[in-house]
Structure 1
Amino acid sequence: METMISVWTVVEHVRVASGAAEVAIFTAILYWFFTSSRVADMLEVLGERVGGWCGRESGSLRQAVRARRRQQNADMYAKLDADVAVRTTSLYRVKESPVVPAPQPETRPPAGLACGRCAPVSRDSWHDPKIEDSGTVINVLDIGRQNFANSGVISRYFCDLAQCFNLVKFQYKDVIPDVQKDPAYIKAIEDTTEEELKKTDLNLDEKGDGDNRNSAGYLTVKKRVEARAKKVLTDISSAMSYNILRVVAWLTHKAIRRVAGGGCGTRAGSVARLRRATAAGLPLVFVPLHRSHFDYILVTFALYLTGLRPPLVAAGDNMRIPFFGWILRGCGAFYIRRRVDGSEHNGDPVYKAALRSYIINSLAANNNLEFFIEGGRTRTGKPQPPKAGILSVIMDAYLDGTIDDALLVPVTLNYDKLVDGNFVREQLGMPKQMETFWSALRGIWRTMNTNHGSIRVDFNQPISLKELVQSFKKYNHFKAPIEAPLGPADDKFSSDLDRRLLYNHSHSSLYGDDVSTDHKMMVEAIGRHIVYEGAQATAVMCTNVVSYVLLTEARGGAGVRRAVRARGAALRAEGRDLAYRADPDRCLEHALEMLGPLVQRERRTETLRPTKSIAAELELSYYANTLVAHYAAPAIVATALESIVCRPDADGDTVRHQELLGSALQLYEVLSEELILCAPCHTIHETLLRALDQLLASGVLVNAERTDGLEEEKWSRRFAKAIDDEEDDGYERPDPTLRIKYIIQKTPEAIAERRRLLLTLRPLIESYSASCRHLAPGTVKSVVKATIDGLVHDYTTNKMPYGAAVSSDAVRNCLRLLRQWGVIEMYTDNKERKIRLRPPYDDAQKLNDICSHIYKFNVDSPLLREESAT
């Protein structure tokens, strides 16, 4: 009983407590209801309407309540009235004042457009004419954030992962069965079998011909050759995996966010053009200029995230390293040997046939393709002459009707700070270190702990291969026969220089049998066109501008900030795409952060100058060479001008037009291994004439005879085209350029411009001169080492102030030039490349005479002495 009473007591207490709680909650609700401004306003409106229905004056209750509130909260209502008055005044001012448009984003100049001379149809295609390309750059890392901005919480937080795992899945056909049925592949196996039988002790009758090919000896050798061919084909082929591609895309997302604080940008208009070109149903052939190992994944990454079909990528077999090679193969890489001829694989017909058949059948299956036309990575930062091997295979596929057409897409990549580090060791003549698993791990670790600034991946307009072939057949400066090999030019115009340069470079181990010289030269011309267009469309990073200024305009350290600002404005006016848009001073600080110890900075005077070392100048020259390629033509003319002015008997005030252009042509012939001056659809002479016009516009030169100078220049342009040198009556018109003269200006601005252009090419000319001085019979390695040692000695003893001249690439290019001139001969002995002098250049005097064609441009100019003094 007591228990029941206790329970009942507890229940009563709970009821009392719950009742008190209910009363408290009800009281709080009533308080909120009658004190809330919204409820009060609602009651006022309701009371006003009820009063209206009852016949009372409208608004009296509401006005009474407001009046009482204003008395209680006078300060608050005064502030509210002031805010209303301000808004009313602002609205009135906006309505009555003229409409001011909203600020628009800064537009960029058009870049990456197809050549208007040889690809006009491609230039007008692949874009929507109703939409103007403003040059907007998008960060591919932000695509996922934008696509999943309005999705769920998990998708927004894991936007990178969601973007990579929701992209389109593309199908890739296995082309190995088609390659094994290819007649060229089968024929290569049969020919190799016969060649191996000839090297054995088997009786040739046992091998048999025709019906006797079922003999045991023949079948044994053929089986061995087929097994080797199958292994070659397996090593070549790609293994594109959608799952690997998604995982690598996600990892690349995270890696780029860590190493590239400025993101990875690409032009929005370029992506739109690629989408329209993809709809045409033709295979796209992406042709990047090669700067870093990161290029392999970066191009695929940018295409994949923008919803485009990733290509099969031709990678060097040096990248076939454990684990990482498997990942690259899963991302579409197929491996090719770095050298087919000139190595232990010399003349391997099975490998050549397998590679050609694999590429052709991949294109026939409508797979996109990617290959680096320069071969390996550029060690100097300048675009390298093309390697026409894979391009020749694509040309064959088009010419034999395997594909109707292909769209070539030049691709350019640039970095604020190179991901792979620098190439100083190799430029100093040390052998290249082969890629290994552990070196790859060390490189990844080092990269992930370094800020590399911004990255740009840009795609040029797709160019029809069919249109290029048809256009190049029309140019007369490629049609005349080659009368003489490339050699030192005389004082006359080198009218066939364009043709001879193509002829001397058009060699490839992947050309098919019975390929004509015209065909080889056309492939070489298309390759040079792609490299030139890609170099001109490369986005200019702030480190490129600052490095160029430090090595040319402000070597002494004075006026760097002003020069950087002026150079950026000049590049923008010339149509180059600057990859930075911030204040020039902020860009300079960012560039100095990226360059780090390469630049010395005096805090007291704020003076900036390159660090005094060969390694620092070599690395700075790598970044500066992006602009060296841009200023190559006017720099050649300015250097030729200096070589004329510094002659002992020269007139230091005037120079003749013909003499200046002739000297410039000779200089470009010397530097033809270093620079691609123009697209092959333009002649070198025309390009140098345009560069001369730039010197006239900048005030370096002035026409001596202003009255008839314009007419004479018109005649010179007609003469340069060389269409018809004779009149109808047989009378040959005299060369009108003989009377054109230019006055050399001596103003401080003109002298500064001449010095800048002179320093643009000076390190290269120093390297070439040193190569000629140290030329001697021996191995190529010993000649290169002797030249590098001589340059290092000259630099350390202050005889030569240009650390960037210590470049093994420039030395080797000079040796190639001397071989083309017939001065030296290269041969292989005991697996070593050796050099010997060819008669009559084994005589010291004869050798010095021909090397004088290089020495004469390495002049001791007063402009350089003034620069050293400052």
Structure 2
Amino acid sequence: MGSSNKKRKPRASSSSTPEQAPDLSITADDQVYLHAAGYNESPDRGLINSMARFRSSPLDFIREVSLHFSGTGWRSFDDHIGQPEFYSGFSEDMKTRVLSSPMLVAKVRELAAKRVEMEAKEGLLGEEAHNGSGGVGEKDRKVKRRVQIEESLMEVSETWTDNMICKMESKNFIRGAYYLATQLLTRAYHQGVHVSSEEVLRLRAVADKAAKDKHSIIFLPCHRSHVDYVSLQIICYRLGLALPTVVAGDNLNFPVVGSFLQHAGAMWIRRSFGDDQLYITLVQAYIDTLLQSGYNLECFVEGGRSRTGKLLPPKFGILSYMLDSVASGRVDDAIICPVSTQYDKVIEVDSYISELLGQPKPKENLMDFLSASSVLSLKLGRVDVRFHEPWSLRTFINQQRERFSQLPQQLDTKEDRLRLLRTLGYKVLSEINDVSVVMPTALVGTVLLTLRGRGVGKSELIRRVEWLSDRVRAQGGRVAHFGNLPTSVVVDRALEVLGPGLVGLVPGLPEDTYYAVDRFQLSFYRNMTIHLFILQSLVSAALYTHVKRGGGPEYQRISYTDLHAQVHFLSQLFRGEFIFPTEGLDHNLAKTLEGLEADNVIKIQRGKDLNGVEKVEYVELSDAERETGRENFDFYCFLIWPFIEAAWLGAISLTMLTPPLTHSSSSPFPSSTSLELKKVQDRAQLFGKTLYHQGDLSYFEAVNKETLKNAYTRFEEEGMIVVTKARDKNTPATIKLADEWMPQRGMKGIIAEGKLWRFAERISASRREGKNRRDGATVQTRVLELADKVGGGCGRMIVGCFWRRGGGSG
């Protein structure tokens, strides 16, 4: 048995990592330049640079406008790599191809035949048809009626197709749209759009081969802002790549803007397809047509925009259509290209916070769109777009099918397809994380939210940003290029972009001292780094269950068995929240412990098993880590604690569903009653806000709506709650506690016992210790009494609709 007691040293530093490829700069003189990677005072390092302004340089402004609208040089877009799409009649040609799709024609005939049979059974085609006499007249009426229905369905399909398909058929329009989009984008992001020269050259080579093979490139970016698709479109235009058709929700298809976006590349789809077989088939037919013709596509694997700053779990809707096109053999192949888009500052973060705190999402409209122009005069830094190495979807499918064939238990076709789809979705998300760049604002935000105390001095802030940059690189991540600029300048830029609304400066002190003004909003930027450290954070949170006990080191060490169990518990709890490496728990844990030991954050006591094989027995903080005030260990804990708090809040909020001992006016439900899921979650959020302001919750961001929803989804998967969703979208989903998870109630209220309480306590073991949580018995009483009070409010909100439904389980 032995322990590690090494001197502290970083495992990797910026000097030991290979230099990143240089940024690409394309200037107004149509020349391409390679620059040493890095931030620079000059605005011409980006791929897309600020354009001339009429007020400051009217002649240059007029010259640029003239060049764009006359199509001089690269602006003409005449020799782009890809299939032709800008010609008169393009839209009509696409409609004809979609409407003549064998798949759509077959579905129309199938639906028409079913409708005719139903009408015949109901006697709507005449008495003979109803009696099934089978006369000549009956057959004629059925044929005639079927033809009528088919014609009607094709008319509906034609209307839907016209509303759905993108209509990029005018180069003059595209040139104007490019100029307008670039003007708006570079006014907001004054340091331009940056890409890696190496990735761009690789992408152009792939695109050239794909165009010759008539294969589409499917761009799959992360989704944090509406700017995502704008930036990718103007990059493709500037590089001479065929513009992708962008899959977009029809909530953005409002007057004026909707038509503009449709002609600039958007295809509109419903937010929900329901069970509309005709619409589902029509979407598949359009996707097939695009991929069979070799047109590029773009869709967001996360579905909607991330309101929290980190990647969301994959949504498999439109991705399943693309996968089916290739897997079925209707399309030979397509090229997948994961894309990461990172911002110094995201324009919509203010509205995201309002939504996460429970404000309803406003419906998109023209006035809101135009009001964004006030933001465009701000200096929001720059946009970094990174492209993962593209790969063949056909090859991926074949490899996965080979894996499935080697499984001891063969899966049916439906399960095979679902597993293939999930593997595809998580592979893309993992590769987006692999190429993501950590921006200076994310570095500063992360440091400010992972330090103890009210604020931090400028010198310490710079030191921790440099430390964090090294840690990011050591984890295989990328830091936005700094070039030769000192870290102090980079930090100053980040503070300027974040602004005084997020980071405050204490006046009148000997050293500039900064503090987080809006921790909730700043957490958006911190969450951009958490994927790099999620394994270290889980291990630290598990170790914290013993560290928080205090006392000497011997009281704070944890056995490997207990550590493994708690890490397993937490990783299962957050499996829908984070993207984990696929090698499995034992491998990931061993590798993480090895890394933390090498960084001298922990020390490990090892022994040997009965076979003489070395094994880990105990884990504890290293002496060096204690001497430095646990700053590295605390960093990892601070990253994960808000999510642990949110999971605990979700679990403890379920106690609100505990039925009363007797019926009362405040909570009149038997244990079998289902309540409206949304109203219960709203009450859970109110419960969390109260706990925060009363000191029983350390992080206000733990009450955010998205994380609570994820927690409830996880509880549903575990069988803790039963969620029932009606086919009718106007009927709300309902929730009830599973019987085995139902807490018991005594005369004084909910009893702190049972399966649900033990589950919440296990989460709580890794929570940050708060000043009001020292006395466990007091906490039990206070929290459960509050849950009862808020739960009673939930009952009063729902009692009316409950009795109108006539009671029962919903």
TM-score band, normalised by shorter chain:
0.7 to 0.9
| Deviation for aligned residue 1:556 | 3.0
Q: 1:168 aligns with which of 65, 78, 87?
A: 78
Task: Work out whether residues 50 and 190 of structure 2, in 8 Å CA contact, stay in contact via their aligned partners in 1.
Answer: no
Q: Does 1:307 align with 2:243?
A: no
CA distance in 1, matches of 2:363, 2:384: 27
Q: 2:503 aligns with which of 591, 595, 599?
A: 599
Long gaps (5+) in structure 1: 1-103, 113-131, 146-151, 341-345, 483-502, 504-513, 713-732
SS of equivalent to 2:48: helix
Letter in 1 for 2:437: A
Q: 1:141 aligns with which of 23, 27, 48?
A: 48
Q: Which residue of 1 aligns with 2:366?
A: 437
Q: 1:206 to 1:419 in 2, by over 3 A?
A: farther
Q: 1:819 aligns with which of 716, 730, 739?
A: 716
| Deviation for aligned residue 1:820 | 0.5
Q: 1:306 to 1:474 in 2, by over 3 A?
A: same
Task: Work out whether residues 649 and 702 of structure 2, in 8 Å CA contact, stay in contact via their aligned partners in 1.
Answer: no
Q: Which residue of 2 aligns with 1:727?
A: none
Q: 2:595 aligns with which of 673, 679, 694?
A: 694
Q: Which residue of 2 aligns with 1:320?
A: 253
| Deviation for aligned residue 1:818 | 0.9
Pairwise mapping of residues 48-87 of structure 1 onto structure 2 (< 5 A)?
Answer: none
Q: Does 1:832 align with 2:732?
A: yes
Q: Which residue of 2 aligns with 1:232?
A: 160
Q: 1:398 to 1:253 in 2, by over 3 A?
A: same
Q: Does 1:789 align with 2:686?
A: yes
| Root mean square deviation of aligned Cα | 3.6
Task: Work out whether residues 426 and 432 of structure 1, in 8 Å CA contact, stay in contact via their aligned partners in 2.
Answer: yes
| Deviation for aligned residue 1:824 | 1.3
Q: Does 1:562 align with 2:479?
A: no
CA distance in 2, matches of 1:685, 1:472: 23
CA distance in 2, matches of 1:206, 1:178: 36
Q: Does 1:801 align with 2:698?
A: yes
Q: 1:477 to 1:806 in 2, by over 3 A?
A: farther
SS of equivalent to 1:468: helix
Task: Work out whether residues 140 and 306 of structure 1, in 8 Å CA contact, stay in contact via their aligned partners in 2.
Answer: no
CA distance in 1, matches of 2:633, 2:772: 12
CA distance in 1, matches of 2:498, 2:326: 45
Long gaps (5+) in structure 2: 1-14, 24-33, 40-44, 53-59, 658-673, 745-750, 775-810
CA distance in 2, matches of 1:402, 1:415: 38
Q: 1:580 to 1:480 in 2, by over 3 A?
A: same
Q: 1:617 aligns with which of 486, 510, 519?
A: 519
CA distance in 1, matches of 2:38, 2:413: 44
Q: 1:260 to 1:794 in 2, by over 3 A?
A: same
Q: 1:739 to 1:687 in 2, by over 3 A?
A: closer
Q: Which residue of 1 aligns with 2:216?
A: 283
Q: 1:290 to 1:641 in 2, by over 3 A?
A: same
CA distance in 2, matches of 1:867, 1:833: 35
Q: Which moved more, 1:817-826 or 1:220-229?
A: 220-229
Q: Which residue of 2 aligns with 1:749?
A: 628
Q: 1:586 to 1:135 in 2, by over 3 A?
A: closer
Q: 1:470 to 1:645 in 2, by over 3 A?
A: farther
Q: 2:478 aligns with which of 555, 564, 577?
A: 577
CA distance in 2, matches of 1:753, 1:800: 23
Q: Which moved more, 1:369-378 or 1:383-392?
A: 383-392
| Deviation for aligned residue 1:235 | 1.9
| Deviation for aligned residue 1:593 | 1.7
Q: 1:648 to 1:575 in 2, by over 3 A?
A: closer
Task: Work out whether residues 445 and 526 of structure 2, in 8 Å CA contact, stay in contact via their aligned partners in 1.
Answer: yes
Q: Which residue of 2 aligns with 1:627?
A: 529
CA distance in 2, matches of 1:463, 1:143: 33
Q: Which residue of 2 aligns with 1:531?
A: 429
| Deviation for aligned residue 1:536 | 2.7
Q: Which residue of 1 aligns with 2:378?
A: 450
Task: Work out whether residues 643 and 707 of structure 2, in 8 Å CA contact, stay in contact via their aligned partners in 1.
Answer: yes
Pairwise mapping of residues 328-727 of structure 1 onto structure 2 (< 5 A)?
Answer: 328-340=261-273, 346-422=274-350, 423-443=352-372, 445-473=373-401, 479=407, 515-558=413-456, 559-581=460-482, 582-596=485-499, 597-605=501-509, 606-611=512-517, 616-646=518-548, 652-678=555-581, 680=582, 682-705=583-606
Q: 1:416 to 1:735 in 2, by over 3 A?
A: farther
Higher Rg of the two aligned structures:
1
Q: 1:697 to 1:556 in 2, by over 3 A?
A: farther
| Deviation for aligned residue 1:250 | 0.8
CA distance in 2, matches of 1:527, 1:848: 37
Q: 1:198 to 1:136 in 2, by over 3 A?
A: farther
Task: Work out whether residues 447 and 465 of structure 2, in 8 Å CA contact, stay in contact via their aligned partners in 1.
Answer: yes
Letter in 2 for 1:215: V
CA distance in 2, matches of 1:663, 1:478: 32
CA distance in 2, matches of 1:754, 1:153: 54
| Deviation for aligned residue 1:169 | 5.5
Q: Which residue of 1 aligns with 2:108?
A: 189
CA distance in 1, matches of 2:449, 2:529: 11
Task: Work out whether residues 740 and 755 of structure 2, in 8 Å CA contact, stay in contact via their aligned partners in 1.
Answer: no
Q: Does 1:856 align with 2:762?
A: yes
Q: 1:367 to 1:476 in 2, by over 3 A?
A: closer
Q: Which residue of 2 aligns with 1:9?
A: none
| Deviation for aligned residue 1:518 | 1.9
Q: Does 1:296 align with 2:220?
A: no
CA distance in 2, matches of 1:704, 1:249: 61
| Deviation for aligned residue 1:653 | 4.2
CA distance in 1, matches of 2:612, 2:431: 33
Q: What percentage of aligned pairs have identical amino acids?
A: 22
CA distance in 2, matches of 1:323, 1:815: 39
SS of equivalent to 1:410: strand
CA distance in 2, matches of 1:134, 1:283: 32
Task: Work out whether residues 545 and 765 of structure 2, in 8 Å CA contact, stay in contact via their aligned partners in 1.
Answer: yes
Letter in 2 for 1:744: L
Q: Which residue of 2 aligns with 1:40?
A: none
Q: How many residues align?
A: 674
C-alpha offsets along residues 280-334 of structure 1, whole Å, 9 cap, x if unaligned? Answer: 2332110000111122221111111011111111011111111111111111111
Task: Work out whether residues 206 and 218 of structure 1, in 8 Å CA contact, stay in contact via their aligned partners in 2.
Answer: no
| Deviation for aligned residue 1:808 | 0.5
Q: 1:842 to 1:222 in 2, by over 3 A?
A: farther
Task: Work out whether residues 670 and 854 of structure 1, in 8 Å CA contact, stay in contact via their aligned partners in 2.
Answer: no
SS of equivalent to 1:379: coil
| Deviation for aligned residue 1:691 | 1.9
Q: 1:739 to 1:319 in 2, by over 3 A?
A: closer
Q: Which residue of 2 aligns with 1:32?
A: none
Letter in 1 for 2:480: A
CA distance in 1, matches of 2:622, 2:771: 18
Letter in 1 for 2:358: G
C-alpha offsets along residues 360-407 of structure 1, whole Å, 9 cap, x if unaligned? Answer: 111010111111110000011110111122222222222232333221
| Deviation for aligned residue 1:764 | 1.2
CA distance in 1, matches of 2:715, 2:104: 38
| Deviation for aligned residue 1:554 | 4.8
Q: Which moved more, 1:798-807 or 1:811-820?
A: 798-807
| Deviation for aligned residue 1:840 | 2.4
Letter in 1 for 2:428: I
Q: Which moved more, 1:818-827 or 1:218-227?
A: 218-227
Q: Which residue of 2 aligns with 1:271?
A: 200
SS of equivalent to 2:235: helix
C-alpha offsets along residues 789-822 of structure 1, whole Å, 9 cap, x if unaligned? Answer: 1221222233323122121001111110111011
Letter in 1 for 2:337: V
Letter in 2 for 1:181: S
Task: Work out whether residues 700 and 754 of structure 1, in 8 Å CA contact, stay in contact via their aligned partners in 2.
Answer: yes
SS of equivalent to 1:165: helix
